[in-house]
Structure 1
Amino acid sequence: MLSRTFGTLTAAIVLGTTLLGAHTMTHAAVTITPMKGAQALQLESKWDKIFPQSSKVEHHKVTFKNRYGITLAGDLYVPKSIKDGAKLPAIAVAGAFGAVKEQSSGLYAQTLAERGFVTLAFDPSYVGESGGEPRNMASPEINTEDYSAAVDYLGLQNFVNREQIGILGICGLGGMALNAAVSDTRIKAVATSTMYDMTRVMANGYEINMKQNAQGGYDRAQPQTDAAARYQTKVQLNNGRWEAAQNGYATLSPANNLDPAKDITADTPKFIAEYANFYRTKRGFHPRAVNSSPQGSWATTVPLAFINMPILQRASELRAPALVVHGEKAHSRYFSEDAYQSLGSQDKELYIVPGANHTDLYDNTTGKIPFDKFEQFFKKHLK
């Protein structure tokens, strides 16, 4: 998620080679059932993640369809220790916003599979290897639906207990995960990591001072954007629809993914530099990620629905247990703190990781990502 300007609104938002047909795949104790109607996608067959492949987990490239008819691509991770006839708890994982399943979501999914869960890391609609036209589009409704479609897919597998399915969202897909758990009563537990509410940040801009305080955190401030500024933003975005419509709504915003070797200065907010140092370096770069490519950017019409359709208005009606994880030093911490307060779950926890910034929870497995906490949470509630 890198800084990007849509008119007057500044918000941080951030080919395959193998044809995968709709055939049943069998390996060891697992027979994978395809979803009817999913289109064949061109999927990369070689391991191209930013993290090493585990020897404890079977990995399968899969496709499934959401209720809007968009075919999604996923990486299914199954513990090698699974026994014939066993039905395991399962977790669907996605995020960050503008990232792909070969980055953080895949790392989370593979690690949780090592700990006994069937996991599915997937690319949301319109990005990565998933289908959907035009490309680099996003929607608060469709991206919420993508989680429910992942639950559908997992529940069709005969080695998954469909009464024990949870979801996990990272960064901007964290807000979507909470929204999905409010809507979809089949989701028995929901966790978020370094969460963003993308509808809130696109409508309000940041609600923090852009520079860190003496303690290394970020002080709360008034939203950057008010109703008058939002109106002017909508005027610009909607006037731009004429050109976008002529181009099949495929027109992209100007690319603004910062190069950490050239574009970072003393005046660059530290968290913007942190994004660049993840997505634009060997640490987290992936060519299919919107946030990684020098030309990467979102379609110009993306902010319209996000500005106008807040995703967590029914948060107080959430009944599923919730674990909300965030870094102590993250600029985005206020999203998790406020979401936690709004959740109606009787069993909920806000867990702050000492010393962690926002991107530490993308890939820092040496003391920052609290995988033990996630494991304990899901084992407690997916049973």
Structure 2
Amino acid sequence: MKRLIVPIAPFLLMLGQAFGQGTPPGKEQKMEKTEYVTFTLSGKVTRQAVTFKNRYGITIAADLYIPKNSDNGSLPALALSGPFGAVKEQSSGLYAQHMAERGFAALAFDPSYTGESGGQPRHVASPDINTEDFSAAVDFLGLQPLVDRNRIGIIGICGWAGMALNAAAVDKRIKAVATTSMYDMSRLMAKGYFDKLTTEQRTNMLEQMSQQRWIDAEKGTPAPSTNNLPQKLQGNEPQFVVDYFNYYKTPRGFHPRSINSNGSWTATSALSFMNMPLLTYINEIAPRPILLIAGEKAHFRYFSEDAYKAADGPKELLIIPGASHVDLYDKLDIIPFDKLTSFFNEHLKSGKPAQKEKVAAYGSAN
């Protein structure tokens, strides 16, 4: 059987992160002076490598950030992950460290099948299992002596923002949820950019991935996607591809375990996302509060805006003036940490019910 080439490479390039970015396994890129984390570690917090298992028995690797001199049982806690294809040493770790500096126990984790977490085969994503990863992180946090288990929230970044909202809908222990630069990965993969994927295009994509399964079954291993970030920019790429490249492929954000920096999703990873909409029950997050943060110039800003419209109960939409999608990965002068802190301080009060709906906020970062 001949290997089928999916005839949608330009489309997937437009989608950026839909299937994968980077170099196929076995051809890893090397970069000098890659630090263990892509940000400067803080002296105000402690950082501990931890592991725990999710409901499917997969071992999840995480870094737990704790403010120094904390009292037992007193801390509100946050579980964080994202972006899609990143690792805990990138954006989620940066967010966790800064939230720990502000008084939270913050757990940045690698989703199943990625980074230092378990699961075989590698570089696979699942709307169900990756939603469960957030709940498993809540399990872990709630067992820590320093944490008040009635004061746990979650933060999802980029593609893991949709999983965070999905987790909050089903897991009622999550008292508040915030997202930044949200992608709804199931909508993106199933419907394309601005929902412009035609039925014929969708059918062709599913046919190609279905046929790819025969090839994978015969070889006994899933093939990597070939629709990845370029190793060098040619000068004619869309701006959001340039933005991704400038984060994942340069010392700014490169990490050897990051799929987006140095690997590839499997060629069939999109199958389950195309069949299982993530935000079907977003209205069931209510009455718990939602904070959605997006850059004014983000190419997928409409995901956050549409999620805001679909959600019931307390909700807030914050658009950061002049910011792009990737700016919210690591730009400390742009990420609204003060807003995240006030949001979770307000809503992670033990026994405190969520308040009435807030009007969408368009304004400055903090």
Query: How far apart are the structure 1 equivalents of 2:116 and 2:132?
Result: 17
Partner of 1:136: 123
How far has the Cα of 1:352 moved from its partner? 0.5
Partner of 2:68: 80
Query: How far apart are the structure 2 equivalents of 1:301 and 1:273?
Result: 25
- Alignment map for 1:113-192 (pairs within 5 Å): 113-192=100-179
How far has the Cα of 1:227 moved from its partner? 1.4
Q: Counterpart of 1:283 in 2: which secondary structure?
A: coil
Query: How far apart are the structure 2 equivalents of 1:117 and 1:160?
Result: 9
- Aligned match for 2:290, one of 318, 322, 332: 322
User: Does the aligned pair in 1 maintain the 2:229–2:241 contact within 8 Å?
Assistant: no
User: Does the aligned pair in 2 maintain the 1:91–1:119 contact within 8 Å?
Assistant: yes
- Aligned match for 1:263, one of 220, 223, 233: 233
- Aligned match for 1:244, one of 216, 224, 229: 216
- The sequence identity of aligned pairs, in percent, is 55
How far has the Cα of 1:86 moved from its partner? 3.7
Residues 160 and 7 from structure 1, CA distance in 2 versus in 1: closer, same or farther, beyond 3 angstroms? farther
1:225 aligns with 2:229: no
* Cα deviations by residue, 1:323-379 (Å, 9 ceiling, x for unpaired): 0000001101001000111112x211000001100010000002x100000000000
Relative to its length, the structure with more strand (as a share) is 1
Q: Counterpart of 2:111 in 1: which secondary structure?
A: coil
Q: Counterpart of 1:186 in 2: which secondary structure?
A: coil
> TM-score by structure 2 length?
0.86
Residue segments in structure 2 that go unaligned for 5+ positions in a row: 21-33, 350-366
Partner of 2:331: 364
Q: Counterpart of 1:240 in 2: which secondary structure?
A: helix
The AA in structure 2 aligned to 1:78 is I
How far has the Cα of 1:7 moved from its partner? 4.4
Partner of 1:277: 246
Query: How far apart are the structure 2 equivalents of 1:191 and 1:248?
Result: 40
Structure with the larger RCO, 1 or 2 (CA within 8 Å, 6+ apart): 2
* Cα deviations by residue, 1:12-36 (Å, 9 ceiling, x for unpaired): 224xxxxxxxxxxxxxxxxxxxxxx
> TM-score by structure 1 length?
0.82
Residues 95 and 172 from structure 1, CA distance in 2 versus in 1: closer, same or farther, beyond 3 angstroms? same
How far has the Cα of 1:107 moved from its partner? 0.2
Query: How far apart are the structure 1 equivalents of 2:64 and 2:129?
Result: 21
Query: How far apart are the structure 2 equivalents of 1:185 and 1:249?
Result: 37
Partner of 1:200: 187
Query: How far apart are the structure 1 equivalents of 2:301 and 2:329?
Result: 14
User: Does the aligned pair in 2 maintain the 1:70–1:131 contact within 8 Å?
Assistant: yes
- Aligned match for 1:52, one of 31, 40, 49: 40
* Cα deviations by residue, 1:244-280 (Å, 9 ceiling, x for unpaired): 1234443211252223xx3231x31111110001100
1:342 aligns with 2:314: no
The AA in structure 1 aligned to 2:233 is D
**Range with bigger deviation, 142-151 or 241-250:** 241-250
User: Does the aligned pair in 2 maintain the 1:96–1:170 contact within 8 Å?
Assistant: yes
The AA in structure 2 aligned to 1:369 is I
The AA in structure 1 aligned to 2:54 is N
Relative to its length, the structure with more helix (as a share) is 2
User: Does the aligned pair in 2 maintain the 1:189–1:378 contact within 8 Å?
Assistant: yes
- Aligned match for 1:64, one of 52, 68, 71: 52
Query: How far apart are the structure 2 equivalents of 1:47 and 1:280?
Result: 14
Residues 379 and 248 from structure 1, CA distance in 2 versus in 1: closer, same or farther, beyond 3 angstroms? farther
Partner of 1:37: none
Q: Counterpart of 2:193 in 1: which secondary structure?
A: coil
Cα RMSD, aligned residues only: 1.5
Residues 247 and 73 from structure 1, CA distance in 2 versus in 1: closer, same or farther, beyond 3 angstroms? farther
For these two proteins, the number of residue pairs brought into alignment is: 325
